[in-house]
Every structure is written in C-alpha cells, then in structure tokens.
Structure 1
Amino acid sequence: MIDKLALRLSQYPARLKFALWVMLLCITTLTGIQLWQGGAKIQSDILAMLPKLKEDPLTETALARVEEQLSNTVYIALLAEDKSQAVTAANTLIESLSSDNRDAFVDIRSADLNQAQALNHFYFNHRFNLLTQAQASALSSGKLSELLRQAQLQLYNAFGYANSGLIANDPLLLYPDNLQALAPKQRLQVQQGILLGQWSPNETDESSKPAAKVAAIVMAKGLGSAFNPNTQELQMAVLQEAFETVESQNKQVAFLKAGALFHASAATKSAKSEVSTLGLASLIGVSLLVWLAFRSVMPLGIALLTITTSLLTAVVMTLLIFSELHLLTLVFGTSLIGIAIDYNFHFYCERLAQAEKSANEIIRKIFPAITLALLTSVLAYSGIGLAPFPGMQQVAVFCAAGLFGAYITLSLAYPLLASGPLPSGEKPLSMAAAYLTKLNSISRFLNYKIGGVLLALSVIISAFGLYQLTSDDDIRNLQQSPESVSDEEQQLRGILSGGTDNQFLLVRGETEEQLLQRLEILSPKLNNAVEKGLIGNAFSLSTYLPSRSKQEDNYQLQGLIYQQNLASIVENLGLDDSLISDLAEAYQKAKGSYIDAESFISSDAGKLFKPLWITPTPLQDQYGAIVLLGGITEIDKLESFFSKLSYVQLVDRVGEISGVMGQYRQLTLWLLAIAMAIAALIFSTRFGIKLAALVVAVPALSAVLTLSLLGLIGAPLTLFHALALILVFGIGVDYSLFFAESKHQSRGVMMAVFMSASSTILAFGLLAFSSTPAIHSFGLTLLLGIGFTFALSPFIQTFTRTFK
C-alpha cells in the first residue's frame, strides 16, 4: 500500500506538488497570525504542566484558595542595623510600592493596626462569651479570688491597661487577656506599624560572622498571576525601582525576598535562555553537519527551510489545540531541530549514493521508510501525550506536528527545490562503506564462543545496573530554583518562624457548629505537633471563632461574676455601686448573642480570614476550614499524626502529584512495551515477522541498556526518563527501518543514519545540560538511548540476506 502511494505521488508534476506545499504553508502561517491576534499566548506557569487531579469539590475549593493566596503574595525583609533604620526603610518601601503602581501590587502592608482596632470593636460586644483557658479554669474551680487579685494588680499598676471606661464594662479586666490571646504567637514585634524581627547570619565561622540585624517585614499582593511573564516583568521592575529608592536613602539596607514571583521569574529567565541558547547551538551544529557532508549551499538552505517549516507547523498546531504554548514546550521542542532534519539527511545521502537518479525517484525510493518512520514517531509521541501533564501533551503535539511538517516538505517541495546537481560525495560515502565493512568483519570474528561470553558479560552488567536502579517521582524535579532564590526564602522563613507551606489541613463538618467544635478539638493536637517539631507554626480559625457550645459555657461561667458575686467584686475593687445594675443588665442582654462565622468573616475584623472558611455550595454540602501550616519538617510523620481524626485531611498537592507521576511512570513503560509490539506487527506486513522483530529489538535493547547505565551512574528513574525512552524507540526505530529497507545498498543509509544520530545526539545532548532537572533527565536518557541505537542498528544489514 505504501509503495502504491509512493508511485501515485511520484506521478504528479513537481510544480503542482510545490504549489500545494506553498498553499499549505500560507494557510499555516495565516492561521498562526490569526491565533496570535486572537489571544494565543506564551505560558510560563509551571502549575500549568501539572496533572489535573480529581478531588472532591471541598478540597478543590480549599486548594484554589491556598494557591491563590500563596502564589500572588510577596514577602520582603529589609535588614538594617537598628530598629529606627528598619522602620524608616520599610515605610519608604511601602510608600514607593504604593505610589503610581496600582497595576502591580495592592494590599501593601506590614503590621495592620486597623486590624487590631477592628478585632477590638468586634469582640468587645461578645466579651461575656469569651474566656481564656486560664480564666475558664479559675472560674470553674471556684478560684474567683485569683481573678480578683489580678484585677487589683492592674488597677494599682501605673503601667497597667486599666481605665475607667474598661472597668465600667469589665470590672475583672478579663477582656484584654482575651483580646491578647487573639494575636498569633510569633517572635515579631510591632513598632510604628511595622513588623520587626531578628535576622541572624548562617555562617558558622564566628570570627567572620556578621552581626545580627533587625528585619522589617513588608508584604504585598500582586495583581495577576505570578507565573505570567508580562506580570513578572512588571512586578519585578516595580520592586527593583522601590529597592533602589530605599538604597538611595540608606545604602546599608539589605533585602531578603520570598514568594512564588521570584521562583517563577527565575524559571522564566532560565527557560528563555535555554530556548535561545540550546536552539541556536542545535541549529548551528546541524547547519555545520549539512555543510561538511554535502559541501553545497542548496542542501543547507533546504535543510533550514525544512526546520523552519517544521517549527512553524509545530507552533501553529500547538496553539490551535491548546490556545497557548508553554515555555518548557519550547525548551523540549528545540530537540525537534535534530529530528526533523533526518528526512533531509536520508534524501541527500541517497542522492549522493545514486547520483544518476532524479529527486523524484529518490523520494519514491525512501518514501516507504520515511512514512513508516513518521508513523512510529507519532506513535511514540502519542505515548507521551497520554501522560497527565498538559505540558507534556503539548510536547507530544508540538513534536508530532513538527515531524509531519518536515514530512510534507520532503514529499511536496523537495522534487522541485532539491532537483539540482550535487558535488561528489564519494568520500563520505566511502567512509560509511568502510565503517559497515568493519562492522561485518567484527560480526564474522565474533564466533559463538566469543559472542556468547560477551553476551553473558553484557547481560550480567545490565542486570546489575537494573538492580541498582531506583525511582524518584518528586514533582519538584520539574523545576529547581536557583540557590540564591531558595536561600533568601529560607532565611526569611526563619524570621517569620517558618512562614506558610503549600501543605495544609482541611477540617470538615456537616454543620457550622460541628466544624467549630472539631477545630477546638484539633487545637491541642496542633500545639503538640509544634512541641514535637513536626511543624514550626499553625494558624487555625478556632482562635477567632469559638463554637456556640464553648461560648455558652463561657457565658454560664461568667454568671458567677455578674449574677452571684457582682456586688462583692465591685466592693473589693472599690468601684461605684451604681455599676452593679448596668453590668447585670448588660450581661442579661448578651444572652443568646453569639459569634458566628458569617458575621465574623463579613466584618472588618474577619475579612483577612475569609479564604480560610468554606461554606456549602450546590456542588458540596459540607462546611470546611483551612488550617495553615508552616515549617513542616517530616510530612509523612505529620500525616500519621492526624490520621486518627477522620475529619481532618492533610492536603499535600505536591505529594499527590508525585504519586500520580509514579503511577504514570510505570504506565509509560508498559505503553513502551505495547508500542513496540504494535510496531512489530505493522513492520511484519512489510518485512516478515523475523526481520520486523529484529527492527524493533534494536531500540528495545537500547532502552534496556540505557536503564542499566542510569542505574550504574546512580540516576533515579523518573517519569521523564520513561517518556524519553518512548522517544528512543520512536526515533531509534527509524534507523533500523532504513537499514531494513536498504537491503544490500547500505552506504547511503549509513551516512544518513550517522548524520541523523549526530544531529539528534547534538540536540538532546544539549538538553542534558539544562538546569531544569526534568529537561536534564529527558535529554540524558535520549542521549544515551540514541547512542546505543546508532551503535546497534547497522548490524541489521548483516542479517538482511537471511531475513526476507
């Protein structure tokens, strides 16, 4: 069937095919322009590459709120010699970020003094329902005298917080302690509205260790996604300008930065740099390879045309399907240069080997091989597309479409464009023939005994390497931030007592009251986790939202004050007796007036905590509360620590995605085996089962050897290694196919395979030097796999006499 298609295609005039190719190229170009003008964009959000895990609606809501909160907030620590300098620098930074930069940041703040006033205003009206644990314990155990003595100390203390207005409404001065208990426990102090902490250097050499400094903390919420390149550029520019303003007033002030913005910005710069550097290096390398092999401008020009058409087709098709193009897709896609040029190599090497034939005849000769090669490559990329990563699905579409563009260019444009004469290529062809002759000599030299010994030795070494192979599915392998960015964040976390991690607790309840009671049960467990060092800190709404049951208990306990002992309390404190009736009346009026979640989160006091409270919706009928965690040390122990509380869920998106990566790593290896079996069946219709099995065995053995070598060098197996092995098969089987098709006329094929492998190894070898671990793993695996395939595939021509 493929032979008939090749014959039919060769019968059409070269000019007609070229016109059709030009028309397809114009349509592709116009489609790309239309898509770009219609809103297609470059995406740098690393989260866009992650699997879309199916979670219940409540968990999805909680994840969305936490990710929005963490991804858009930046934290800045200004390090100064003393508190005065730190406060001045922080105020300058806040003023600079606030002026004329509303498009970059909002909610720029340090300590929120208005928040404290709002809390006081909200809770004072509910003071009869509030008691600290110590106060409740004193009242329930009949130790009212202790509370009375503490109130007297405050009354006669010149520096106490008692005043006539407070005493008239709270004679035992219980409310101030309750208000103070609302403040989160942290090492930070507040001075003139600025949060201040202590920064200590990490150096262990005490002789050269710089002195500790005062750190002023400033926070700002970015507008737009921190992973959008344009947003990054704007926000980083605004921050840099603000830093320069601060430094112009005090050059001794230093900065520490933390937030997703800085990680995303570093990732974007790295990806852009690698796209330009690796792509340019690959293009230069391929161009040199073509020039050295053919010594003519025309093959080089057509090679560049093939690559350009391939990349254009890849970009447009990806934008058409996904409406965006991820930066990491472009990084992976630079390897397409080394693959798309393969068709060009095979065409020109065959023209050198058979100079008497026309371009149309050469295309007819190699058409079956390149068609089968395209099918197997697309099959391999389809395996990558089955991975649950939108970014990897983009890579699959990008590369498959690019190869199709190169295939169409060869089939339709080459008959006219590449019909010119070529300089003599006898020297490279002779070298290819000599290489094949040497391989034949080696094959004849390796008798059964020597071959058996070498085979046994190879099996033992490979088995040992496979035994040593481990796996690592940590999603953080997708991107590794520069050490400078991570180090600054860790230092700032130390100042903030651990900060907030991506993992959090989600507490569920069927009713609001049940949820609040469960939060109260959880609180001692959280304190215990802090004491055990499992976490550095925790933030729960239970501090601000006591359950109705607890409020009722507190109200009843305060009845000991306002119903049974109010007169004696007033007398002991030396207060006016007229207060007794007013206080008793106020206590009675407060009965049944409870703090509830809706009134709290809709007030000025609770607006900051609104994202942590989840109410039922038509999609889910439960209440939920998010408990933020910071300074997590051992996530596995933490999960088991809360496992007995069935209503508490440790949400660890990183761990869940890593688990999915492990599952798909195993699935990908199974897909590889299935793809090889399918390819063998397809090839058997043309070559017969024996030669088809041999064609597939070459990339299969290369994959095994690659895995073995990864084990020997101690590189853990990841999903990206597995995905790369699919490409080792998809690309490497092409070499076997061309040797199987060539029968005994192999020197042109050998030259083409050498050039093809060289360009592919160049492209993927450069990817192995990427600073992104995922790309490095991908490139290293292909570098090894294609190298093994190149070394093994020529031996197929030794067996073409036997297998028909």
Structure 2
Amino acid sequence: MKPSLNQFLSHKTAKLRLLIWLTLIAITLATGLVLWQGGARVQSDILAMLPKVSESPMTQRAMAQVEQQLANRIYLGFISDNEQSAIDAAKTAMAKLKQPSKDGTQVSHRESAFIDISSADMAQAEALNRYYFNHRFQLLTDEQQQLLERGQWQQLTQATLEKLYNAFSYANSDLLSHDPLLLYPDNLIALAPSQQLSVKQGVLLKTIAPKVLNQSPQFAAIVMAKGRDSAFNPNAQQLQLSALTAAFDAVKQQDSDIEIIKAGALFHATAATDNAKKEVSTIGLISLLGVIALVWFAFRSFRPLTIALVTVSSSFLFAVVTTTAVFGELHLLTLVFGTSLIGISIDYCFHYYCERLNHPSHSSDRVIQQIFIAISLALLTSVIAYSAIGLAPFPGMQQVAIFCASGLVGAYLTLLLAYPTLAARPLRDGNRALDYASRYQGFMLSLMPTVPRKRLLLAVGTCMFIIIGFTQLTANDDIRQLQHTPADIQAEEDELRTLLSGGTDNQFLLVTADSEQQVTDELAQLEPLLKQAKQDNLIGNHLSLSRFLPSQSAQERHYQLQGQIYREYLDEILARLGLDPSIKGALVEQYQAAKGNFITADNLLNHAAGESFKPLWLSPQEGETGYGAIVLLGGITQLEALTQHFDALPHVELVDKVGDISTVMGHYRQITLGLLALALLIAGIIFTFRFGVRLAAVVVAVPALSALLTLACLGVSNNPLTLFHALALILVFGIGIDYSLFFAESKQQTRGVMMAVFMSAMSTLLAFGLLAFSQTPAINAFGLTLLLGIGFTFLLSPFIQIFTRKSNDVD
C-alpha cells in the first residue's frame, strides 16, 4: 500500500474521515429531499422498464396511438338471469362512475376517476347516420353492387316493396323521397361491425347460452370506461378502485344476485403493485432479521449489529438518492431487486469484524489497512458486474445497476471513513465461531480426493452433469413473464373477452402507402383476407377503416352504378313502388349534386361520426410523406400463422410490440452472457497483476464453474433460460468472485476469511433465496439463479486454499 494512502487510513485521520462521512451523508440526505420535493416518485408502471424497440417513425406513431386508445380502459360485465336486471345494473354503475371520486380518506375530488363511461354509444350511431346519409350515393352493399352490375335492379325494387309492406319497416315518406329503393338503411347496418351483441335501452347486451340443458340463458350488460389518469399510477389506482367499489356496492344494493366481472390494465397493475409492495416489505424484513441473527450469532454483541445497520442504511441512502438523481424516479421493481443489497453491502461489515476477531490485538485502522486491497478489488469487480447489467435495454435493470453499484460504494465509504471511529472498540472473544469456520473449511477440504484417479472421475462427472444440463437447457424471452397476474383476475378477463368476441389484442396491422387513396385501396384488398382469417379461427374480430372509409375508386363505382336508378329507370321504379312521380326531379338533382362528394379521411375524422376512428388513421407529419391506417385485431389464436396470412400484401405489416420486445430480450440475453465471459476475462487480467497467472485463473475459475453448474441445474430442472437468469449470472460473478479474492489475499490465514465468507454467503442466500419465492417470474428467475450460483461459489471457494497454502495446516 502506498505511504500516502497508508497515512490517510491511519489513526491520526479517523476523526477527519468521520467528519467527511457525516458531510457526505448530510449532502446525500439534502439532495434526496430536494429531489422528492421536486417531483421524484416511485414508478410502478411495468411498461416503464421495457426496452425501447427500434421502429420506423410511422410504426412508432402507430404503436403510440394504439397504446393511447387501449391504455387505461376497463370493461365491466354485469350478469343476471333477468335481462332488465342486467340493464339496470349497468345504468346504475355508469351513473355512479360519473360522480366525483373519493379517495381512501373520503376526500371528494372535483372530477370523476373515469371518463368516456358508456355502453352502447347512441350519439355515435346518430352521428354516423347524419354523416353517411349525405354520402349515400357513394355507398352500396356487396349484394346491391352485384345486382346493379348484373342489371337486376328489379330485384331491388321487389325487396323495397317487401320492406314497405312489413309491419316493422323503418321506411317513411321522408326517407323514400330521398332514397326510393331504401338502399341506404342496409348500408348503415353494414357499417356496424359484425358481433353478437345487441343494444337495448342504450346498453350493450350479450345473451349467454346455458351450459346445461333445460337451463335458462343469462344476460350480460357491458360497460366501458377509461381512467382519467394512468392505471399504473398508485394514486390513480386508489381513486379508480374506490370509484369502482362504490359503483359495485350500489349495484349489489340494487340486486344482490348480480355477478360482476371486470377486465383491464387497472386490475393487472393493482395486483402487480400490491404484490411488489408485499414482496418489498416481506423480503426486506426477513432479510434484515436474518442479518441481525447472523451478526448476533457470530459476535454476541449489539455493537456489530448497530454498525451493520448503519452500513445497510447508508448503503440504501446512497442507492436511493443516486438512482433518483439519475432517473428522476425509482421503480418498484428496483426496490424489489434492491432488497438484495442488504445481503451484499453487509459483506464489508462481516469482513471487517471477522478480521478483528481473528486478530483481536489489532486496531480498527490496521484491520482496514489489512483488508483494504481485498475490499477494493471486490468493489471493483462488483461495479464491473453491475455495469454489465446496466448495458441491458431495460430502464428497470439500468436502475438496478445504478442502485446496487451506488449502494455498494456507500457501504465501502462507510467502512473506510466511519468504521475507524464508530467500530473502534474491541470485540469479545470469538474463537468459538472462528473454530467452527475452521472446522467447516477443513471438512470441505477433506472431501477433495487425494488420489489422481478419483480427482479425474470427479472432474469427468462434473463435466458430464454440465453437458447433460446444457443439452436440456431452453430459452424463453416472452415479456409476459415480467408481470404475474393472479388466476382469478385472468379468469374474469378471459370470460369478458369471450363476451366481447375476443376484445382487442396488442398486436395490430399497419397499412402504409404514399397517398390516402392508396391506403384505402390497400384496406379494401385486405378486407377479404381478414374475413378469411376469421373463418379460419385465426382471429375473433377486427376493426378496420375500410368499412367506414371506402376507397375512392369503389365510391366512384357505386355512384356510377346508382346512375341506372336515377338516370335510366327512375320513372319505372317510382311507378312500381307507387310513389308520387313529382319527386323525380328532386331525386335526380340530389344524385347529380352528389357527384364527386367522396368520403375522405379528412371530412370523416373531422366529423362527430369519425371522432372515435381518429386513432386508426395516420396522416403525414412534418418531414413525412406517407399515410397509414391501423387495423385492430382481437381474439388472436395463432400469431405466427396470422403473420404468414398477410405475406402477399407488401404494404401490410403485423405490428407485434410484445414479440419485438421479446426478440430484443433474447438478443440481450445472448449479449449478457457474452458480457459475463468478457467480465471473467477482464477480472482475470486484473488479478494477474496481483496474484500471477496461475492463481488469477483459479480465482476466476470458481465463479465461472459456479455459473456453468447453475445453468446445468436450470436445464435439468426444465427452467427456460431468460434475460433475468443471465443478468443474475453477472451478479454471481460480481458477488462470488469476492469470496475467491479474500481467500487468495489471505494466503494461509484463512480462518477469519472462512467465517466472513460463510456469513456473507448466508446473508446473500437469505436475500436472494427469498427472491426465488417471488410470484413474479422475472424476479423468481433472478433469485433462483443467484441462490444456485452463490451456493456453488460458497462451496467451491474454500478449495482455493489448496493453491495458496504452503502446508496442510490451516491457521
């Protein structure tokens, strides 16, 4: 150690270092308070941690519009044996949801928690009628078009007569004076998407067929709403849940037999938030209690426990403030992963006190000088490991990297600056604990075969296990593993999606072209393929602008075909229908005035009739030239087959953000494993300058073999490899190599090191072992990998003494 550094770590500077440490703590606290008062917050949105997928500007805009349309929407179903009861329940719920919301403290807000609360949108239907009636000469159904193309206008006349004499006919004199063959009503009906929902009293209804013979059907009334704020905002969650609870209570008071089902991101986000909070508190508390028990077991004193708590607290303070300063927020997932920092930052405390136990006559300053190189190398390798995690394309994982790296720096500075004063008092006799550690190490070393043949068999057996595990190892990069959904919530959502004929999925079709007319032409060509996909059970439903925005060529064709009616056969048609011949002039005039009156994207979307269709259209923005249209899909059953279904259309792209992100995850999983190999190589080079090539290779081999054994165990246990397993392996290296370092630095004096490594490993296993029991698959994968990896490293690290000791005696 350099003289200047040795002088800085001497007893003479202890008070100065404590003052520096207290100043750092005060500055960090003040910075944290400023950040939180300035708007920093805890982020619970699972989407905020997803990687950013590189897409074209048009695709990015399309994804943003779809997300905006689908985000924060909830769907409610009120099921009853009585149709009117279901309708009444829906009306009661809608009325209640429109009232100003209350939070958990019963404080009323000026606005309701939800907007766009509706069932069947009657205003939209009226707006559609007003708009399309003015364009009736550009509209024909497929059947009407075919009849006119064949010159069979007489059949249209016959159909009109049947409607006129039907008791339930919607025909009246005003409609007949504008549309004598009643073509328009059929076109208006054709605009409605095909579905099995009916409308009664302004409420969407679905009749549920009985599951058992001789049982009456049930009726489900559907209500839709959109949260005023993000469903992933904890405060908004509380307001929306309170509003829903009040609405459900009102419904139940009205009819206690009503069954209520619900779906939407709100319920998934709430479950994720509650689960994350529960796991943070549970894992953090049990981990902390475990650390307390370990410290008391080893030192039989509250002073080391107090110092341990100071170390952990300062570590978390540095971690939280640094992460918040860098990102402006703190993700709940970061806190869940960050609870493992307890088991890592405490390592410095363990190594310090175990070294003091092993050398009770040494002062605190001398102990720090003795372990300085080892803890500095340990910090360096851990920061390298966390930096590798930070290269992942996940803001959440980047936060974990910053959180844990800065937390370890905080623990390291606490050891160097505060321990000489705060932990200066000597410990009680700890020979019993040190003897236990020495016996354990002796037992482990005795397991190593001394006969070369047996060592070869052990090596071959280990290699065979690794090979077998690797042959069974698979990969799964689906981002759905990021979030755990309780079975009851998923069951309700599946039931409601069935009622809505599949609902709307996150995947959609994007149609692009150079002009508006080309886009509408592409939509028209796409429609038959969509109908075929539905017949093939590839999708349950779709929503396309082709129904509401026919191509200009189709509109022109429809206008010309209707010329048969208004130019050639109008007299005969009026006579057959018994209509007053005097209306002929006005009809011809209306027809001629409609020439060129095309339905365009601009006039439709700027009309009340097209307000809800705006998210489905993409006009060129500044610097762009192309147009686009979005086709929403629902009830997708076979995504890969659906993708191939549209291969023949070069201007149609199936946008699958989930699939794209999953592909990115797979890519970065491979990169992360490559970074692990690179980190091992860099560490080996660094250690070569300290230990020489042979011992440096042994130090690096311990975490490397642990990683291989961990992967083999995952393969044998049929756990698919994910990015989170790979990220955890980086930490296996970063944490586990510390054990190798301390054994390599200790040479023959390993009794104190063995005790410190034992306590460090137990605390780390406790923290990460608890993560392995998380209900969130991503966290579970992270914890399980570390549980296995650190366990193997702990078992293997004592064997380094074989390469460091000069005799068989262990101090």
With the shorter chain as reference, the TM-score category is over 0.9
Deviation, structure 1 residue 300 = 0.3
Cα separation, 2, equivalents of 1:2 and 1:222: 63
Say if 2:11 and 2:420, in contact at 8 Å, map to a contact too: no
Change in Cα spacing, 1:283 to 1:640, as seen in structure 2 (3 Å) is same
- In structure 2, runs of 5+ residues without a counterpart are 102-110
Cα separation, 2, equivalents of 1:776 and 1:201: 41
Spell out, residue by residue over 1:113-164, the C-alpha distance to the aligned partner (whole angstroms, 9 max, x if none). 1111111100111111110010010000011111010011111222111110
The one-letter amino acid paired with 1:377 is S
2:106 is the alignment partner of 1:121: no
Cα separation, 2, equivalents of 1:400 and 1:597: 53
2:297 is the alignment partner of 1:297: no
Partner of 2:345: 340
Cα separation, 1, equivalents of 2:226 and 2:787: 43
**1:207-218 → structure 2 map (5 Å cutoff):** 212-218=217-223
Larger CA deviation: 141-150 vs 428-437: 428-437
The one-letter amino acid paired with 1:633 is T
**1:517-666 → structure 2 map (5 Å cutoff):** 517-666=521-670
The one-letter amino acid paired with 2:91 is N
Say if 2:534 and 2:541, in contact at 8 Å, map to a contact too: yes
Spell out, residue by residue over 1:331-376, the C-alpha distance to the aligned partner (whole angstroms, 9 max, x if none). 0000000000000000000000000001111001001000000000
2:724 is the alignment partner of 1:724: no
Cα separation, 1, equivalents of 2:806 and 2:567: 107
Larger CA deviation: 390-399 vs 157-166: 157-166
The one-letter amino acid paired with 1:324 is E
Cα separation, 1, equivalents of 2:295 and 2:20: 27
Partner of 1:83: 83
Say if 1:79 and 1:199, in contact at 8 Å, map to a contact too: no
**1:135-214 → structure 2 map (5 Å cutoff):** 135-199=144-208, 212-214=217-219
Partner of 1:770: 774
- SS of the residue aligned with 1:605? helix
Say if 1:57 and 1:619, in contact at 8 Å, map to a contact too: no
The one-letter amino acid paired with 2:141 is T
Deviation, structure 1 residue 635 = 0.5
Deviation, structure 1 residue 4 = 6.2
Cα separation, 2, equivalents of 1:415 and 1:191: 79
Partner of 2:46: 46
Deviation, structure 1 residue 82 = 1.3
Figure out how many residues of one structure are paired with residues of the other and give that number: 798
- SS of the residue aligned with 2:55? coil
Cα separation, 2, equivalents of 1:616 and 1:449: 75
- SS of the residue aligned with 1:106? strand
Spell out, residue by residue over 1:636-687, the C-alpha distance to the aligned partner (whole angstroms, 9 max, x if none). 1101111111100000000000001111000000000000000011111111
Change in Cα spacing, 1:210 to 1:653, as seen in structure 2 (3 Å) is farther
**1:214-229 → structure 2 map (5 Å cutoff):** 214-229=219-234
TM-score w.r.t. the length of structure 1 is: 0.98
The one-letter amino acid paired with 2:170 is Y
2:373 is the alignment partner of 1:364: no
Cα separation, 1, equivalents of 2:730 and 2:745: 23
Deviation, structure 1 residue 436 = 2.2
TM-score w.r.t. the length of structure 2 is: 0.97
2:294 is the alignment partner of 1:285: no
Change in Cα spacing, 1:289 to 1:2, as seen in structure 2 (3 Å) is farther
Cα separation, 2, equivalents of 1:222 and 1:436: 60
Say if 2:97 and 2:112, in contact at 8 Å, map to a contact too: no
**1:308-387 → structure 2 map (5 Å cutoff):** 308-387=313-392
The one-letter amino acid paired with 1:391 is G
**1:256-267 → structure 2 map (5 Å cutoff):** 256-267=261-272
Larger CA deviation: 388-397 vs 248-257: 248-257
2:112 is the alignment partner of 1:112: no
Cα separation, 2, equivalents of 1:681 and 1:12: 36
Partner of 1:680: 684
Spell out, residue by residue over 1:603-632, the C-alpha distance to the aligned partner (whole angstroms, 9 max, x if none). 111101111111001143211111000000
Partner of 1:692: 696
Cα separation, 2, equivalents of 1:140 and 1:522: 22
Partner of 1:239: 244
- SS of the residue aligned with 1:78? strand
The one-letter amino acid paired with 2:182 is L
Deviation, structure 1 residue 299 = 0.2
Q: Percent identity between the aligned chains?
A: 57
Change in Cα spacing, 1:546 to 1:290, as seen in structure 2 (3 Å) is same
Say if 2:355 and 2:752, in contact at 8 Å, map to a contact too: yes
Cα separation, 1, equivalents of 2:27 and 2:570: 89
Say if 2:769 and 2:784, in contact at 8 Å, map to a contact too: yes
2:677 is the alignment partner of 1:668: no
Say if 2:98 and 2:112, in contact at 8 Å, map to a contact too: no
Say if 1:2 and 1:368, in contact at 8 Å, map to a contact too: no
Partner of 2:140: 131
Deviation, structure 1 residue 450 = 0.8
Deviation, structure 1 residue 548 = 1.1
Cα separation, 2, equivalents of 1:321 and 1:383: 17
Spell out, residue by residue over 1:213-261, the C-alpha distance to the aligned partner (whole angstroms, 9 max, x if none). 2110001111111111111111111111111111111111111111111
Partner of 2:744: 740
Cα separation, 1, equivalents of 2:653 and 2:718: 35
The one-letter amino acid paired with 2:506 is N
- SS of the residue aligned with 1:258? strand
Cα separation, 1, equivalents of 2:528 and 2:441: 76
CA-based RMSD: 1.4
Deviation, structure 1 residue 7 = 5.0
